Amino acid sequence: MAGKYTADAFQSDTGVSRETLERLEAYVALLTMWQRRINLVGSRSLGDIWRRHMLDSAQLLDLGPASARVWVDVGSGAGFPGLVLAALGCGKVFLIEKDARKCVFLREAVRLLEADAEVVESRIEEIGESRQEDRPFPPPQVITARALAPLDRLLAMVAPLCGTETVCLFPKGLDVGRELTTIAKYSKLAVDELPSRTAARAAVLRIRGLADENRG
């Protein structure tokens, strides 16, 4: 890709308002400051943050159901993709993160962005093992995760959270083809392999039917 991908290019590609862009720029500044204390993202990716992290997250916005109001982002880390999606107005986003230091960062970032998001400090497995009425969020219409785990493990992690209408959105890199072979055992999944807007040969996997597999 010729030239550096900038905040202005991000605004042009996503159509976000100037006010939203300014908040996202403040979020990037906050992340850069915190990166000196804790490892939030790969250090080399900071130089291309608007493409590698911001656009890579924002591209999921239009891939979920238009009616979705509850999103759950698993392994949120620095807030990608969940916090970016919340800032763009996708609905209420629950950011699941087990690392206490990252949760402190996320709470500060949520306040800075004035985003409709809530940080949940927990392992996703613990939430999945609890009863629905004891969970910190209602049944999600969309579950997202980015750079968290290989696809087969990721599906096992989020399966207990899925309802019949839940859509999973998982950005995947160059090994997406190999990862898809690991879930061939699932017979009821509907999997769309959508081209990534940020990297050639990468993809976003849109997966439905995981709850049906569980009942299977």
Mind listing the pLDDT tens digit for each residue in 39-63?
Answer: 998 888 888 999 999 999 999 999 9
Residue-wise pLDDT tens digits, 107-143: 999 999 999 999 999 999 999 999 888 899 999 999 9
pTM for the full predicted model: 0.94
Work out the average pLDDT over 2-10: 86
**Domains, the chain:** 7-215 (3.40.50.150)
Mean pLDDT, the chain, integer? 92
Give the pLDDT band of residue 1 (cuts 50, 70, 90).
very low
Contact in structure between 75 and 148 (CB atoms under 8 Å): yes
